[in-house]
Amino acid sequence: MRNHSIDIFDLFRGKRIFAPKYKIIALSAQHTTFVKQLATRLGFDYCGIAKAERLDEEARHLEAWLNKGYNGNMGYMERNFDLRVDPSLLVPGAHSVITLLLNYYPEESQVEEAPKISKYAYGADYHEVIRAKLNEFLFEVREHIGEVNGRGFVDSAPVLERAWAKRSGIGWVGKNANLITKQSGSFFFIATLIVDLKLDYDNPYARDYCGTCTKCIDACPTEAILAPAIVDGSKCISYLTIELKDELIAPEFAGKMENWMFGCDICQDVCPWNRFSKPHQQEAFKPIDAVLNFTSGDWEALNEDYFKQLLKHSPIKRSKWKGIKRNIDFLKV
């Protein structure tokens, strides 16, 4: 019987070899090992890999969510629908979706009288930090494996990160719609790499370990969590303090903000799985002094120029100075 062989470029030895087809399987395993080791070396806490394919079930859920207007004024959620559910439209010939998690849980806390800021915003803007890591990731992959077409995404492109994280075996989507890991909770940034490289795929996360717990639903002061994993974004405090660009926040939310000035962590803080959260080891996420220690008076006295200077590398700049002033004023209502 003839031995079917192919000519492949063995980049581990830097020369062209003649090898049986089964060698491709071994090469896929080697590439997968390299990818996961690289993720650890670059400081990521989790790395999972899923097959790049259209997310048909997730597409139906997203369409229903949008049709009910739960995206509020976030019109960008309605755009590029097909790109969100089909990775091959983002990277032609895509074979694999690599999901990476980076812990941001802080060791420090704000002073008690400070208006509350979501923990993810204590330090440098995660978009800048993770984008640099993803660029290095792709560079290293190309240096080690060869020409690989791929793109990295971090919360700023049409990618359903939590769906891919679940498919890659990292965790499950909780009732608060956050990705939860059994070992470390949910205080993680999610990054995604879509590549045209064939890798070995992890088994999807099949179980939901929330059980009968409803602590996140019960704790939400604006009743934004309507049902397990269904959040009315237009009622979420994070949306109201960051995404909403109106001059005023609707009066119906007066007295319900629980002193949150930027973002909200309530549904994560009450989650039992976050008792396993451990402080991050990322120097870039070391808290900015003002974020931890500014009181309401300090924020009120902050002029626009100093705001831009002080927070130029902080995600808080997304709300802009006028947005922060609006939020502070609304907390007094």
Would you name the residues annotated as active-site residues? 155
Which of 242, 233, 295 lies closest to 120, judged by CA?
A: 242
Which of 70, 194, 222 lies closest to 137, judged by CA?
A: 194
Q: Phi and psi (nearest 5°) for 152? A: -110, 145
Beta strands 116-117 and 96-103 are: unpaired
Rounded distance between C-alpha atoms, residue 1 and residue 78, angstroms: 56
Give the position of tokens 């059994």.
182
Rounded distance between C-alpha atoms, residue 129 and residue 16, angstroms: 37
Rounded distance between C-alpha atoms, residue 26 and residue 83, angstroms: 32
Rounded distance between C-alpha atoms, residue 42 and residue 141, angstroms: 12
What is the length of the chain? 333
Indicate the angle between helix axes 22-41 and 126-145, nearest 10 degrees: 150
SS3 at position 194: strand
Which of 1, 96, 116, 88 lies closest to 50, judged by CA?
A: 96
